[in-house]
A and B are shown apart, each in its own frame.
Chain A
């Protein structure tokens, strides 16, 4: 079945550092890929998405590129801020499906 694997956290960075959170997936066909963010005590919010190979999703300085050849969708940001501290979830919807498969989440701490 479909699955998502993302790097374990927590990830701790200093402000203005470069961020990478790795995400790889297993799915047949061409799934749609998503990154969600969850701030403390809140629900998840969509951060960005990509629906076909080589698409780049971007939002609020975050980017991720849909790599079919490596089945990856790594999240990057060039310069993190304290306000980026949150839990980040990689997710997919398989071809022809609608149920979302979530990764386990990666907690990010950014120190001032």
Chain B
């Protein structure tokens, strides 16, 4: 079955540590996205990528970094500069840029501070 796989499901970060969240898709989608979800709130866009080797900042990119070296993969690094990283992180993909197709989501990674 095609889909999006996020790992790990739970992640703990120590002070001053960078952590990387994995996102892999086998849907052959061009566009990929990272969102942050805080309790009781909606989704906020961190970064998105329309094509391999290209990505753009979303609404809350500070303290985060991404790469898009392969079509299937869009890892997110939460750096030590992100002072409040505790949240639920969702990765998504869609067929193509400039299309009205819905997004497909992974099951998320919950990040907490030790």
Identify the A interface with B (CB < 8 A).
Answer: 32, 34, 36, 41-46, 49, 51, 89, 93, 96-100, 102-105, 107
Which chain A residues lie closer than 8 Å to B105 at the CB level?
Answer: 43-45
A93 in contact with B100 (CB, 8 Å)? yes
Given A32-B100, A96-B98, A98-B99 in contact, is the A42-B108 Cβ separation under 8 Å? yes
Interface-central residue, A45, A93, A98, by most chain B CB under 10 Å: A98
A100 in contact with B42 (CB, 8 Å)? no
B98 in contact with A100 (CB, 8 Å)? no
B62 at the interface (CB under 8 A from A): no
What sequence of 0s and 1s flags, for each residue 42-60 of chain B, a beta carbon within 8 Å of any chain A beta carbon?
A: 1101001010000000000
Which chain A residues lie closer than 8 Å to B97 at the CB level?
Answer: 98
| Closest CB in chain B relative to A22 CB, distance in Å | 15
Chain B residue with Cβ nearest A92: B100
A97 in contact with B107 (CB, 8 Å)? no
